[in-house]
């Protein structure tokens, strides 16, 4: 397949903050790769100490569909416990399972469409626990957002990774965010590099491996080095789907070859923090998009900055130099004309408040991982502590304001008596 062209080739990441509007939507490609026959119930491991497939099922299994806000009829976008920009859901998960998991040892691909696992290879080192390799299908997000896609891929992955760690903690599991680059992650997960994917597995959807999380029941968690010694090239080719027009995105290929995607700087323990159970997690729906609500009819419940600061204090990833967080109330949003800074999204004026995660420097991958990770941490921590607010991640930020560039944002609104039906992300 011929890779997509991109007018911002060579400065792919920072181009996302330009005021250039994305073009018309192109073909998004497959929703996921199809890896063959899913594992049957007889392959499940009873009383597993690391029920990692159950964790993924809670996070990704569709719980119905969102209502079309224009017609009120059921739509086609699945309701899931984790958010995704534009409901593109590019994040894929490959499970590198040792002993003690609720699927047999080996490398498994997780299919979010029907919440099934597919064992790609039975080869596995002698170790307990699992490593989750998070990859993305860049074509899905790039089809809609074009040059703004790259930061969104990191943000979607951050929400997925933090969601797994917080829900795993509710099941007594420990987790660690592992340091790696795309080439290393692809090798240990026995996937082709993004640039080589179509050459190795033509007519399948190229995946870019972005990050990894170790999960286990004991103090000693698995490492990428253990799996690297067992790696022997790509395994378990997915089924071709030329009718879905899978393709490589040129800007992503160039971006993946650069140094910016090796992250985090060192491994971080994600075990401490709020414990997010199944009931709390399944309550998560992004707040609805609608016109501003009168404060006379529904007074704003202000959240003191100290509350957000305490929640942020538990996020282990330190803010890069020049980065900070600021919270704006409804009046500040209106006075600032905030919609002009986020691609004209006028619905932000319906928020009770918004947290802006910003940088004084040129945006880079490390800053974006921190911003999206911190926002995900705030969202999941608020869910776990029962705060009566709904949230919506806000992307599409452009330009500079007061010397800062907004990397990512988290809008919030108090739950109100008229009913808060949730649509969108």
Q: What is the pLDDT of residues 103-133, one digit of tens each?
A: 999 999 999 989 999 999 999 999 999 999 9
Residue 79 pLDDT greater than 90, yes or no:
no
Residue 6 lies in a domain: no
pLDDT in tens, 209-223: 999 999 999 999 999
What separation in angstroms does the CA of 384 have from each of 75, 77, 283, 332? 29, 25, 10, 28
Residue 4 pLDDT greater than 50, yes or no:
no
For the chain, give the number of residues.
Answer: 425
Confidence of residue 280 (pLDDT cuts 50, 70, 90): confident
- What's the confidence (pLDDT) of residue 302? 62
End-to-end CA distance of the chain: 31
With a CB cutoff of 8 Å and minimum separation 6, the contacts of 213 are 131, 132, 134, 161, 164, 165, 175, 176, 177, 178, 270
More confident residue, 173 or 87: 173
pTM (2 d.p.) = 0.92
What mean pLDDT comes out for the span 284-301?
60
Handedness of CA 321, 307, 393, 58 (dihedral sign): positive
Residue 288 pLDDT greater than 80, yes or no:
no
Residues 191, 255: Cα–Cα separation, whole Å = 18
Asked if residue 301 and residue 272 are part of one domain, the reply reads: no
Asked if residue 248 and residue 387 are part of one domain, the reply reads: no
Asked if residue 345 and residue 226 are part of one domain, the reply reads: no
Which domain range does residue 152 map to?
Answer: 14-279
**b/e per residue 188-199 (b: at least 16 CB within 10 A):** bbbbbbbbebbe
Asked if residue 119 and residue 85 are part of one domain, the reply reads: yes
Asked if residue 359 and residue 261 are part of one domain, the reply reads: no
Residue 353 lies in a domain: yes
| Half-sphere CA count of 267, side-chain side, radius 13 A | 14
- What's the confidence (pLDDT) of residue 252? 97
What mean pLDDT comes out for the span 301-308?
71
Q: Which residues pair with 392 in a beta bridge?
A: 411
Confidence of residue 69 (pLDDT cuts 50, 70, 90): low
Asked if residue 316 and residue 265 are part of one domain, the reply reads: no
From 92, 94, 102, 125, select the one nearest 49 (Cα to Cα): 102
Q: What are phi and psi of 145, to 5 degrees?
A: -110, -5
- What's the confidence (pLDDT) of residue 419? 40
**b/e per residue 221-240 (b: at least 16 CB within 10 A):** bbbbebbeebbeebebebee
Q: What are phi and psi of 53, to 5 degrees?
A: -65, -35
Residue 296 pLDDT greater than 50, yes or no:
no
pLDDT in tens, 41-56: 555 677 899 999 999 9
What mean pLDDT comes out for the span 166-190?
96
- Helix-, strand-, coil-residue percentages of the chain, each rounded to 5: 30, 20, 50
From 58, 111, 114, 62, select the one nearest 87 (Cα to Cα): 62
Residues 4, 30: Cα–Cα separation, whole Å = 16
From 65, 31, 386, 86, select the one nearest 207 (Cα to Cα): 31
- What's the confidence (pLDDT) of residue 300? 56
Asked if residue 172 and residue 310 are part of one domain, the reply reads: no
Confidence of residue 416 (pLDDT cuts 50, 70, 90): low
What mean pLDDT comes out for the span 274-298?
70
pLDDT in tens, 220-239: 999 999 998 767 899 999 99
Asked if residue 211 and residue 66 are part of one domain, the reply reads: yes
Q: What percent of the chain is predicted at pLDDT more than 70?
A: 87
Please report, for the domain that includes residue 292, its CATH number. Answer: 3.40.109.10
Asked if residue 164 and residue 40 are part of one domain, the reply reads: yes
Give the end of a domain, one of 225, 247, 279.
279
Confidence of residue 409 (pLDDT cuts 50, 70, 90): very high
Number of domains in the chain: 2
Q: Taking the C-alpha atoms of 353, 359, 365 and 371 in order, what is their torsion angle to the nearest 10 degrees?
A: -30
């Amino acid at each position: 397949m011929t890779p997509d062209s991109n007018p911002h080739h060579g400065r792919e990441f920072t181009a996302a903050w330009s005021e250039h509007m994305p073009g018309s939507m192109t073909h998004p490609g497959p929703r996921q790769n199809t890896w063959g026959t899913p594992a049957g119930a007889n392959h499940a491991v009873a009383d597993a100490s690391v029920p990692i497939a159950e964790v993924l099922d809670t996070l990704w299994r569709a719980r119905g569909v969102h209502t079309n806000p224009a017609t009120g009829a059921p739509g086609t976008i699945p309701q899931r416990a984790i958010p995704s920009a534009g409901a593109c859901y590019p994040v894929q998960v490959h499970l590198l399972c040792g002993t003690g998991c609720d699927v047999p040892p080996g490398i498994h691909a997780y299919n979010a469409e029907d919440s099934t696992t597919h064992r790609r290879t039975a080869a596995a080192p002698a170790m307990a626990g699992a490593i989750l390799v998070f990859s993305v299908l860049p074509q899905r997000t790039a089809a809609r957002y074009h040059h703004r896609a790259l930061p969104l891929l990191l943000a979607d992955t951050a929400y997925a990774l933090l969601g797994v760690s917080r829900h795993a903690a509710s099941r007594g599991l420990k987790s660690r965010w592992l340091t790696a680059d795309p080439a290393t992650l692809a090798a240990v997960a026995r996937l082709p590099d993004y640039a080589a994917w179509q050459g190795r597995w033509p007519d399948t959807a190229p995946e870019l491996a972005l990050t990894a999380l170790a999960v286990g029941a004991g103090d000693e968690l698995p490492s990428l080095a253990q799996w690297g010694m067992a790696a022997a090239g790509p395994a378990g080719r997915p089924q071709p789907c030329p009718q879905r027009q899978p393709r490589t995105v040129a800007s992503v290929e160039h971006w993946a070859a650069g140094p910016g995607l090796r992250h985090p700087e060192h491994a971080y323990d994600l075990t401490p923090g709020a414990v997010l159970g199944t009931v709390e997690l399944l309550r998560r729906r992004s707040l609805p998009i609608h016109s501003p609500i009168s404060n006379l009819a529904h007074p704003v419940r202000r959240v003191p900055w100290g509350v957000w600061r305490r929640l942020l204090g538990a996020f282990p990833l330190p803010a890069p130099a020049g980065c900070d967080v600021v919270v704006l109330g409804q009046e500040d949003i209106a006075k600032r004309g905030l919609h002009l800074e986020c691609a004209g999204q006028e619905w932000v004026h319906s928020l009770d408040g918004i947290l802006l995660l910003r940088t004084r420097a040129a945006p880079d991958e490390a800053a974006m991982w921190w911003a999206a990770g911190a926002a995900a941490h705030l969202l999941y921590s608020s869910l776990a502590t029962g705060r009566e607010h709904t949230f919506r991640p806000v992307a599409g930020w452009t330009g500079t304001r007061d010397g800062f560039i907004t990397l990512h944002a988290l809008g919030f609104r108090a739950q109100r008596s008229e009913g808060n039906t949730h649509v969108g992300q």
